[in-house]
Amino acid sequence: MISDQAKKEIDFWVKKYPEGRESSAVMQALTIVQKENSGSLTDELIKEIAGYLDMPVISVQEVATFYENYNHKPVGKYVIRFCHNISCMLNGSDDLISYLEEKLEVKTGEISKDGLVSVKKVECLGACVGGPMCQIGDQYYEHLTTKKIDEILGNLK
Amino acid sequence: MNEVCFKNLDKENPASLATYELTGGYKVWRQILNGELSPDKILAELKTSGLRGRGGAGFPTGLKWSFMPRNQEGQKYVVCNSDEGEPGTCHDRDILRYNPHSVIEGMAIAGYVMNATVGYNYIRGEFMEPYYRFEEALKDAYDAGLLGTSIKGSNVCFDLYTHLGAGAYICGEETALLESLEGKKGQPRFKPPFPANVGLYGKPTTINNTESFASVPEILSRGGKWFADLGVENSGGTKCFSVTGNVRKPANFEVPMGTPFSELLELAGGLKKGRKLKAVIPGGSSTPLLTAKTAMKMTMDYDSIENAGSMLGAGSVIIMDDSTCMVKTLTRLAHFYYDESCGQCTPCREGTGWLYRMLQRILDGNGKSDDLDLLMSVQEKIIGNTICALGDAAAIPVESFIRHFRQEFEYYIKHGKSMVEIDG
């Protein structure tokens, strides 16, 4: 179920677009609902969004499966999105991703046993001068080292 | 250095309205609201300035604006492309974080010139810090009465909104961005019709990159000629460059067009101790790779980089030293385009996967002797056969990496390992 609070947040976005163009808010609607549902979407929620924005379910489904940031399987409480594109790679992102996998005993794409963290390799996040870098929630973490990763993981509770 | 988009970087609270106004911000906008600056005068200054689209294509901004049917009845739109995602590029992020008002003012001016009363800034979904900064600036601009309806008692109206993406490189392509803004999959449209005639919601629309909009207020404030003279012939003004990869201090720099590449490299701290320059991608991962020798002779402007065999692109300079394995690097780029192809055109959808899988096979030590010819043949069949430039962008690295470093690829295929000795 989409909460009233989420509906209020979706309405904030709907107002930005001309009348009759409510579907422009679908990307944010998916983002808001996903956040509320512990980081992933379900068919049921997608249907509900379609109903709320008066869109065909298939159109919402298309958007939900086209963009990278929507998850269709459960994820950890925190998703570590690690950039492995060229600028980060040239500065050692591969080694750091391996370090993270060993430390958390997970492979990228999996959730840690305690459900706290999942790791995802992602394409360029547009912070190349700070590479290697990753994103957790809204926050970017740049110039990463094994020491910094330890610190970041220590703060995830 | 840092004269236009980054001019507030060294100030306290660079993103604030107070700082922006203290350094001449909204001066041009106020002139417009006072009826002191006509659209034709603005277009003339922009043409004199030589400003070309900073997103990668380099199309003259003034000319682009003049394509809009400004006297046509009905709604028209201005859209800012802040979907920065070209690997190696991150200067628009800093413009949004540290100089958001320049983007707001640039977009408002564009709206005035093109008679478009509504603007959207499409910010990539991961850029939450830039998004919050921009929203804060937007609120301050509204509170100061600089945006809205009949602004400051004039007959000028401009409303500006942000839109957030959700992770798709292709949305940096302007018509894919429009589709996305309409709440659809980001798949590029056929052109023509061009957005200036049929754009957002079918209405005339002009899309410019963040840096292009951010440059406009300063150009109009100090004059088109001033801006043009900062740069060189055919490349007016300054340009923000992201210098990344194997340098000691990767960073963003706004320098005059025509700055020697070697100087830019020095600004970024040069190479790490004991390392030699091997290759450079000058304009983001979609632009052709250059060898060290060629790169060291070029200057950072449209013509010089084109003469060197590449493109200025988005100004994303990726430095590779002699510890870089070209097979691994190209495979990584090929994976990126495979991942980001929108799937609409067969040559790109199938070709990018084919390129990636073949390169991965080589990297896994299972390459075959005719793989390089096959790679070259596949990339050739993608180029020019797709609706948008992503197909070309996927093919270009393959062609240029293999052309310049064929020996390295041949070695990998023959021996199943890299010929580059990497420090343990």
Asked if A87's CB is within 8 angstroms of B250's CB, the reply is yes
Q: How far is CA B53 from CA B76, B212, B237, B319, in A?
A: 20, 6, 12, 24
How much is the ipTM here? 0.97
* Residues in chain B within 8 Å Cβ distance of A55: 183
List all residues of chain A from 69 to 88 with a beta carbon under 8 Å from chain B: 69-70, 81, 84-87
pTM value is: 0.97
Which residue do the tokens 């007959």 mark? B155
A32-76 pLDDT, tens digit per residue, is 999 999 999 999 999 999 999 999 999 999 999 999 999 999 999
CA dihedral A58, A63, A64, A70 (to 10 degrees): 180
List all residues of chain B from 103 to 122 with a beta carbon under 8 Å from chain A: 120
Cβ-based burial of B397 (10 A; exposed 0-12, middle 13-18, buried ≥19): buried
Whether A23 contacts chain B with CB within 8 A: yes
Joined together, the tokens standing for residue B30 give 């106020």
According to the model, what pLDDT value does residue B424 have?
40
Whether B211 contacts chain A with CB within 8 A: no
- Three-state DSSP at A64 gives helix
Q: What is the mean pLDDT of each run of 10 residues along chain B (424 residues)?
A: 93 96 97 97 97 94 96 96 97 98 98 98 98 98 98 97 97 97 98 96 98 98 97 96 98 98 98 96 97 98 98 97 97 98 97 98 96 97 96 97 97 96 58
The CA distance from B329 to B335, in Å, is 10
The CA distance from A66 to A75, in Å, is 18
* Residues in chain A within 8 Å Cβ distance of B167: 67-69, 122
Residues A52-62 as b or e (16 or more Cβ within 10 Å = b)? bbebeeebbbe
- Asked if residue B402 lies in contact with residue B376, where contact means CB atoms within 8 angstroms, the answer is yes
- Asked if residue B282 lies in contact with residue B311, where contact means CB atoms within 8 angstroms, the answer is yes
Please name the residues in contact with B57: beta carbons below 8 A apart, sequence gap of 6 or more: none
Of A123, A129, A131, the CB nearest to B169: A123
According to the model, what pLDDT value does residue B422 have?
66
- In this structure, what DSSP letter does residue B52 have? B
- Asked if residue B219 lies in contact with residue B28, where contact means CB atoms within 8 angstroms, the answer is no
Of B129, B183, B328, the CB nearest to A26: B183
Please name the residues in contact with B171: beta carbons below 8 A apart, sequence gap of 6 or more: B83, B85, B122, B124, B165, B177, B180, B186
Concatenate the DSSP letters of all residues of B250-304 into one string: -EEEEEETTEEHHHHHHHTT-SPTT--EEEEESSSTTSPPEEHHHHHH-EESHHH
- Asked if residue B189 lies in contact with residue B200, where contact means CB atoms within 8 angstroms, the answer is no
The CA distance from B21 to B19, in Å, is 6
Phi, psi angle pair for B70, to nearest 5°? -65, -25
Parts of chain A with a pLDDT under 70: none
List all residues of chain B from 144 to 163 with a beta carbon under 8 Å from chain A: 161-163
Task: Kindly report the nearest CA distance between residue A83 and chain B, in angstroms.
Answer: 10
- In this structure, what DSSP letter does residue B206 have? E
Asked if B245's CB is within 8 angstroms of A87's CB, the reply is yes
Candidates B126, B317, B342: best to mutate against A (most CBs of A within 10 A) is B126
The secondary structure element, H or E, covering residue B239 is strand B238-245
* Residues in chain B within 8 Å Cβ distance of A91: 245-246, 250
Q: Check the CA dihedral A88-A92-A94-A96 and report its sign.
A: negative
